[in-house]
Amino acid sequence: MDIARTRNIGIIAHIDAGKTTTTERILFFCGRIHRVGEVHDGNAQMDWMAQERERGITIVAAATTAFWNGHRINIIDTPGHVDFTAEVERSLRVLDGGVVVFDAVNGVEPQSETVWRQADRHSVPRVAFINKMDRRGASFQDAVDSIRDQLGGNPVPVQMPIGFETDFEGVVDLVDMRALRWPADRQGEPETIPIPADLAADAAAARDRLVEALAELDDDVAVKFLDGQELSADELRAALRQMTVSAQGVPVLMGSALRNKGVEPLLNAITAYLPSPLDVPAVTGVNPKTGDEEQRRPSLDDPFSAIAFKIVADPHAGKLAYFRVYSGSIEPGGTVLNAASGKRERLTRVLRMHADKREEVKGTIQYGDILAAVGVRGANTGDTLTDPRYPIQLESITFPDPVVTIAIEPKSRVDQDKIIDALRRLGDEDPTFQISADEETGQTLIAGMGELHLEVIVDRLLREYRVGANIGRPQVSYRERPRKASRGRGRFVRQSGGRGQYGDVVAELEPLPVGSGVEVEQRIVGGAIPVQFIPSAERGARRGLTSGLHGMPVTDVRITIVDGSFHDVDSSDIAFEIAGAMAVADALQRARTDVMEPLMSVQAVVPEDYVGEVLAGLAAKRGTILGTDLRGGSHIVEAEVPLASMFGYANELRSSTQGRGTFSMEFSHYAASTQTDAAGRPLAPVS
């Protein structure tokens, strides 16, 4: 198929905005599936995991392919819950365009903002789909305004509604200036009719606003607009495509996916406005042999390059590596180089995925393809797969650190080996799931993005891997941050009759702004530490930051190794590594540290009668109320609350609002803890 007719898109949104329902309708109207599944019935095609069907939410990004009007659309349906934001991050890293789904009642919601910022960060062009137009309280204009005001976007409506709320029955297409009305029984294609007389004036004004918005971005449109000339539908489509591909604006459409309304125009917009792989700029990477920066264009003439963006432990096919091809081509069975590990891998079998189903690819794999490879054993998320003769390492994918930890231990000796293997496989799949050991208790600790994230991990461990395990209570992942700059020295000297050990390191410590992470560098002059031992000293410095004065990882700090001394015979790598850790420990003792706890951005949606009780409850949890707003008859409460206080809040909110309140939360930032014991350690959350 002509690569210009390929679209690689993601469906992204806040939880419950209707992403999966929209994807199901897209697949149905494209003829990819012949029976529509429903999220609330637990039989949606794209929610194939048992955990997804039971909870009625998307947990993992699912890939599929559909065809519409001679175009191939590779689709990734992403989760909306903040605990699974890594699935959105890695999907947007490899996609060319996105469909952002908004609830017509609620407009921009917290996770809408998160996925929008992620799309901005990866420069992903997008179209917006205002869903649930048939709900009471739905407002197309309010949703458009929220995109502009809360996201700073440039929404450009290309439709206007026919009917409101439960009377929503169709749209006016402002490009072709025609009306589309869908059958009331949800069956069949929309009927194309003249614009109703009572909407003609509003439609003409809306089209003028569309042309005016495009005139600000397109010189050709501006000339005709200023001369008072009429623009054709094709000219408007070309201008809208240019606007979208250049990320200067976002075409906005509407509908009700559940009622089968608005899906066909959305498909037309995807093929008309979103970019093909040919429209994507060349990707930039580093040649691992020379260190030089190189580019790979979307062309068969450039060497093969791809990114493995998702790893799945498939029970039937083994380890699957989902990958996006950026340049060149390769045949199934060909050999690639993993630029991260330096090892060669063979693409034994290559599959085109449809959720958990698969079709084997027999023909040439080329730029623009999103596929899955069997047998790429050493690949991890973010690794570059490249032509061994012309290697390149593309920018990897970064993920946030986990904030919630629980202890897990096997029930029996038989489960001991099984649990480690199962956790390792789950860790390969999910970069935000981390495994560690508590040196004091000997317990295995698993960390994730939230309670639901770890709940799903544990459920998969027990159900898929059949491991018997005892699970501890969730704990918050705290950090430490130095209060001031300091200087420390570490001298490691051991004499045992023969050759001894000698390492001497001086390190300077400097606090960095919150959220900066860890930086380790060196400023050695005059050979105070031989060049061959400097990497060991830096490694030791990093090791010294893994446990601060209160036993928690130290972050937001710069360590600079500035001086030291060595012994001609006794100095060794291990001695300087130990000395580096000792120097950091000494510097931390002098600087002292603050315990940092994760703060969550919380949004609660509650009826008016319960606002006072909810505000008091959040304040009692050491929360800071940022504001309240009235939207669609409900009060929206915005707050920042320590994560330690939020365990079990779902039950509390249901109880205090008689089941009528809902909330969502996402990680905001780390801040100095306001609740500590006599030793300075944060108090455990009270259940």
pTM comes to 0.74
pLDDT at 684: 42
Residue 409 Cα distances to 151, 233, 412, 414, 437, angstroms: 44, 64, 9, 12, 11
Tell me the pLDDT band of 51, cut-offs 50, 70 and 90. Answer: low
588 closest CA partner among 543, 530, 525, 635: 543
One-character DSSP codes across 37-64? --TTTT--SS--SHHHHHHTS--S-EEE
Which amino acid is residue 184, in one-letter code? Answer: A
What whole-number distance in Å separates Cα of residue 549 and Cα of residue 542?
Answer: 15
Q: Count CB-CB contacts under 10 A for residue 99.
A: 24
One-character DSSP codes across 410-454? ESSHHHHHHHHHHHHHHHHH-TT-EEEE-TTT--EEEEESSHHHH
One-character DSSP codes across 81-114? SGGGHHHHHHHHHH-SEEEEEEETTTBS-HHHHH
pLDDT digits (tens, 9 = 90+) for 645-683: 888 787 788 788 877 777 877 788 888 887 655 455 555
pLDDT digits (tens, 9 = 90+) for 411-443: 887 787 788 888 888 888 888 888 887 665 667
Strand-pair category, 357-360 with 305-314: unpaired
In the predicted model, is pLDDT for residue 58 greater than 50?
yes
Segment 125-154 mean pLDDT: 93
Reported as type and span, the H/E element at residue 170 is strand 170-173
133 closest CA partner among 18, 33, 278: 18
Q: Are 14 and 57 in contact (CB under 8 A)?
A: no
Tell me the pLDDT band of 336, cut-offs 50, 70 and 90. Answer: very high
Q: Are 34 and 41 in contact (CB under 8 A)?
A: no
560 closest CA partner among 546, 574, 541: 541
366 closest CA partner among 289, 296, 414, 436: 296
pLDDT digits (tens, 9 = 90+) for 287-308: 998 889 999 999 999 999 999 9
Query: Of 221-225, 237-241, 627-631, which one has max mean pLDDT?
Result: 237-241
pLDDT at 685: 40
What whole-number distance in Å separates Cα of residue 135 and Cα of residue 107?
Answer: 13
Which amino acid is residue 339, in one-letter code? Answer: A
At residue 44's C-alpha, the angle toward residues 41 and 49, to 5°, is 100
- As given in the structure block, the two tokens for residue 534 are 């400097």
Query: For all residues of the chain together, what is the average pLDDT?
Result: 86
Share of residues in the chain with pLDDT > 70 (%) = 91
What whole-number distance in Å separates Cα of residue 571 and Cα of residue 500?
Answer: 8
Q: Are 518 and 618 in contact (CB under 8 A)?
A: no
Three-class DSSP labels, 309-365: EEEEEECCCEEEEEEEEEECEECCCCEEEECCCCEEEECCEEEEEECCEEEECCCCE
98-112, 412-426, 554-568: lowest mean pLDDT where? 412-426
Q: What 3-state class would DSSP assign to 513?
A: coil
Which amino acid is residue 640, in one-letter code? Answer: E
Specify the DSSP class assigned to residue 136. T
